[in-house]
Structure 1
Amino acid sequence: MTATATTPGPADERRRALLRTARDVADDLAADAIARDQAGKPPTDETARLREAGLPAALTPPGPGRGAHWRTGCAVIREIAAADSSVGDLLARHYVHAWSGRFYASHEDATALEEESVRERWLWTGAVHAPSTDDGADGPDLTLRPRANGYVLNGRRTVDTAVAAADQIVVDAHCASTGDVLVVRIASGARGVTVEPAHDRLGQRVAGAGEVVLDRVAIAHGQVLGRRPHDEESTTPFTALAEPALRLALCHVGLGIAEGALTEARDLSRGGRAHLLPGEDPDLFLTYGELASAAQTATAVVGRATDVMGQALDTGAHLDAEGAAGVAALVATAETVTSKAALHISTRVLELADAPGLDRFWRNARVLTAHRPAAHRLRSIGEHYLNGSHRAVVAAFH
């Protein structure tokens, strides 16, 4: 029997075209990455490059003739992050927040929102807290008060990327009348919305971090995506994927940092600008072998988590609690391995090559991983492994 070649379909063509575009944008960003990192300005130019290439519209949840499947979206994020991890961070959070409709809204509302996002080429950002038994212990930072045609939103929230450049900002806020936690989207140009960009960051300087200040911002009913559960027990399995999805997208940013640092150090060593020259130096071979192995190990672990997350997202509302817990355990493992690899590689390359700007990889890795101690995740992974505890896995993302 003669094998018949499979003809690529429209989805395959879109995927290949998107990855080509990502490589072109990455090459463009890499050309002036050091200068832009040193300037540390808000990502106005960077977001313009992304919009011109069509990446915000392309990196939305998959639908008929639009969007990107999870694995494709993560591949784009990693490609961009290897060239400029600040922009990779920005794009990762855009992609995951663009899934907010599916995580919190009805199917019909999510579809309409995604179609509008593609049509308007929105750039998303936000900060939605993970459910926790201690949620709001010190009082909510954002409060919704009902009014005749919706709500009024007050407070302030730290946002890690694109605080002054995004079109839509997703946050969760406590409703003063019911006590519910509602997830809402805010148009960045709405009356009462101001931003305070962060200055002099150690790393991820071009990501556009800062605070969004909300002063009596009108929120229409249509801007309320849905209810965010108070705790893990009341969270549906699919909604429980929201935080692990964000962490996994950021793992691809961490991989990009590791790969970018290793590639740049290798090119410097080949060019003879390093402390140790290549030639026949066995110690240099050993070091690069160790670092390349660390990067490849992290890639394999993240790849497995990415595949399983993609399958879970495709399952949608039929996902069960065991499936969600299994995904979260893999993501926690991937985050642990990737954080260690990114920090280790970005530190070691500074010993291999002496060149301006090489330190940015360590600074970026440090900022990306600073607030997520590995011990907390490892305990949760261990409890899940020993006892099969779903609660333990969810706790890893608090």
Structure 2
Amino acid sequence: MNTTVASPSLQQARAAFAAVFAEFAEGAGERDLNRENPVSLVRALADAGFGRLRVPAELGGFGVDLPTLFELLAQAGEADSNVPQILRGHFTTVEILRHAEDQETAAHWLRKVAAGAVFGNAQSEHGGPAFETTTRVESVDGRHLVSGTKFYSTGSLYADYIRVAVADDEGNRWFAVVPARHPGVAHLDDWDGVGQRLTGSGTTVFDRVPVADHGELGRYKEDLRSLNSFVQLVHLANLTGIARSLVAETAAVVRARSRTSLHALSDQAASDPDVLGVIGRLYAHRFTADAVLRQVSEALQSAEAADTPDAFAQAYIETSAAQVALVDTVLEAANLAFHAGGSSAVRERAHLDRHWRNARTLASHNPVVYKPRVIGDFVVNGAGPVNGYDRGRASAAAGN
């Protein structure tokens, strides 16, 4: 169960979040159509304290539990599904810092997050071997400088700092923190996916960018097995938000319709039994998404409390099963919504197509195609899921 007790400050912050979410929702369709990045709105959300949700209270944050975080991310996704993905790297960085061995460094950055700093992600590269990095850090006159090119650098366009996966001359791999607005950082904003168009997920180029003070994150605890489930749950919260938005926006389309079809049983769409049935099915899909998100977020919270490899493995399997279920559920809902609006629903100004495009894009991150096999191997053979960071270390060792 959700055990977070909302302090007055968190209650006030929730009201501020809701106000910013309303602004996001108001222009979400037009921004998607015009490729207008919501930079000022992301800043407004950070200024309202959204980025410090998981920062411990003693360091200036709200210290909320995981179910609370993912519910708020679902609300953000309902307003504009770019938002949870923009901030996915930020919240992942906060989780890494919460488990960091270097407590001084962790406290330094968590206090900055509590003060409103936003982190972006620059971990993956376009092409080349998986789990490899060509981005290098060199030491010049006692300073570490980062150079290289990243793709899928989600959120970096909106960030104050970027967590960059780097390799040094000795072959060590670690995360370096660099200032996002340094002159040596170029944000190309060239993400060309069919969905999630405003997440800044394209290319970021680093040209001898200095690592910030306390910017050598290094290793974090070897038993941090929650991160694999955590990063997927951000997407699941986002999918849940899309399911909610589909109900609200499709219902609005129905209310606004002034005509129906030749075979309709009513002259008014709002009283047509077949159209109302579409809305009912959309609500059922939303209900499913809400229930699944709540269950898996509580499962990950329980795994964190147990802090055992078996608990994290079980949480990962449940998160994977939720991913399979929610991808199918939300994509079906995004397709079904068009049945409620006739040909007018496919016009660009209706903006309904963005929900399918965004859900389809989310399904391709941490690709869902692999998850049924991972689940089946666990159920039949008891094979635990492979940890991504273990695999990265194995890849590095093989390369050396």
TM-score range normalised by the length of the shorter chain: 0.7 to 0.9
Counterparts of 1:201 and 1:371, CA distance in 2 = 11
Match of 2:98 among 91, 95, 102: 102
* Aligned residue among 303, 306, 309 for 2:300: 309
Name the counterpart of 1:91. 87
Alpha-carbon RMSD: 3.0
Cα distance in 2 for partners of 1:62, 1:304 equals: 23
What secondary structure is seen at the aligned counterpart in 1 of 2:78?
A: helix
Q: Which amino acid letter does the alignment assign opposite residue 321 of structure 1? A: P
Answer yes or no: is the 8 Å Cα contact 2:137–2:168 preserved in 1.
yes
Which residue does 1:59 correspond to in 2?
53
Superposed CA deviations along residues 186-238 of structure 1, whole A, max 9, x for unmatched, are 1112352222112554222222222111122222572111237xxxxxx8232
Structure 1 unmatched runs, 5+:
1-7, 229-234
Change (3 A) 1:215 1:394: closer
What SS class does the counterpart of residue 218 from structure 2 fall into? strand
- Select 1:219's aligned residue among 203, 211, 214: 211
Match of 2:368 in 1: 374
Other-structure match for 1:44:
39
Give the alignment of 1:233-252 within 5 angstroms: 236-238=222-224, 240-252=225-237
Q: In 2, Cα distance between the equivalents of 1:225 and 1:173?
A: 11
Percent of residue pairs identical: 22
Contact kept? 2:81, 2:358, Cα under 8 Å: yes
**What TM-score do you get using the length of structure 2 for normalisation?**
0.82
**Shift of residue 181, structure 1, vs aligned partner:** 1.6
Q: 2:188 aligns with which of 191, 196, 217?
A: 196
Q: 2:337 aligns with which of 349, 354, 378?
A: 349
1:201/1:380 CA distance change after superposition, 3 Å: closer
Q: For the residues of structure 2 that align with 1:373 and 1:162, how far apart are their CA atoms?
A: 20
**Which residue type is aligned with residue 361 of structure 1?**
H
Q: Which residue of 2 aligns with 1:291?
A: 282
TM-score scaled by length of structure 1: 0.83
Compute the displacement of 1:273 (Å): 5.2
* Structure 1 residue matching 2:243: 3-state secondary structure: helix
1:265 is displaced (CA, Å) by 0.4
Following the alignment from structure 2 to structure 1, what is the Cα–Cα distance between the partners of residues 375 and 35?
Answer: 37
Structure-2 change in CA distance of 1:373 and 1:66 (3 Å): closer
Pairwise CA distance, 1:29: 1.6
**Residues 237 and 324, structure 1, Cα contact 8 Å, conserved in 2:** no
SS at match of 2:207: strand
Are the equivalent residues in 2 in contact too, given 1:41–1:205 (CA < 8 A)? no
Aligned length: 372
CA distance in 1, matches of 2:271, 2:99: 54
Extract unaligned runs of 5+ from structure 2: 393-400
Amino acid at match of 1:363: R
Report which stretch shifted further, 347-356 or 254-263.
347-356
**Per-residue displacement from partner, 1:157-189 (whole Å, max 9, x unpaired)?**
113433322011112222221x22211211112
Measured against aligned partners, the alpha-carbon deviations of 1:99-132 in whole angstroms (never above 9, x if no partner) come to 231244423432232012212x1111104469xx
The whole-number CA distance in structure 2 between the counterparts of 1:171 and 1:224 is 10
